[in-house]
Chain A
């Protein structure tokens, strides 16, 4: 179709009409959408009793959220602490034979961290793993209870009460 077959100023008027239509929807819903404007605009959904109180509590107490975003330092300390507690349990309860793997499987622990944390990269985890690897050549008979207690205390001193509460979740 050539231009001369169109009414004069067709495109200008079309553009103005479209803009007017769009603005009318906001300014005059009754005229532009009479069926829609007849529908009562109220909230048609409801929620269980006290839902928003419960929901707020759920969000704030979300344990996964808290453990997911523990700082690296706390995660490292937590790992060390768990391993030390595990060792001390073995040392205090079994002096004949030491079986570290029975109490804490590091692979499982590292896998858990990998799956549940965004903050720890592989390099950090490897370092953490290396630092916490217990040499099988250590003679645990030579470690006194006092030395072990002192070591645990030095680690615990670095952790605040709040951190311990989070770790215990």
Chain B
């Protein structure tokens, strides 16, 4: 099926009689892309499912105020990213005394998850990413997994490209160090 252009969707959304159809096309076009972005953030399906619902409620609520200053999908990515961060902050159930304790629990939970298919190396990568500071994790996910351009990430996060490159560089080095160290224990 041919993908409907954003301009067409926006045109429909601005017309009350076509709004419902326009919103349906918007959901069809972007739900998977946004879902995987969120999933890379929160790792667990149930969490991603909650966040994608909240994301589209926000999109629904604010779409009429969308001014086309940014691209439609970067605007939606921003909402999805913010929703993910809010969700993570809201659901911090308990604070672990150290990072290792947290990582062990996280690893066990992920291994037991029906909807996780990764091998040992991929699980190790997820652990490395989960240790990153929030901004570096965000940039790393967008660049490495979502393969977004720096220009798009800059628009989503409202950060300069130079700063994003530095964040990605730091994140990559930390991930690489984690992978190298865990390899040496094997």
Contacts and interface: CB of A to CB of B under 8 A. Distances in A.
A54 B179 CA distance: 37
Nearest to B143: A26
Contacts of B125: 36, 39
A34 B179 CA distance: 10
A109 B116 CA distance: 45
B166 A22 contact: yes
B12 interface: no
A35 B117 contact: no
Contact of A39 (B52, B53, B116, B122): B122
Interface in A21-45: 21-22, 25, 32-36, 38-41, 43-45
A43 B119 CA distance: 11
Contact of A44 (B35, B117, B166, B176): B117
B175 A36 contact: yes
A64 B180 CA distance: 49
Contacts of A39: 121-122, 125, 179
B36 A43 contact: yes
B127 interface: no
Contacts of A68: 61
B172 A58 contact: no
Interface residues of A, number: 31
B78 interface: no
A143 interface: no
Contact of B61 (A34, A41, A69): A69
Contact of B60 (A38, A47, A58, A69): A69
A32 B173 CA distance: 9
B27 interface: yes
B46 to A, nearest CB: 10
Contacts of B87: none
B57 A21 contact: no
Given A18-B169, A40-B119, A44-B126, 17 more contacts: A21-B169, A32-B172, A32-B176, A35-B179, A35-B180, A36-B172, A36-B175, A39-B122, A40-B121, A40-B122, A41-B144, A47-B35, A52-B31, A55-B31, A60-B20, A60-B24, A65-B61
9 contacts: A18-B169, A22-B165, A39-B121, A41-B144, A56-B31, A59-B31, A59-B52, A65-B57, A118-B61
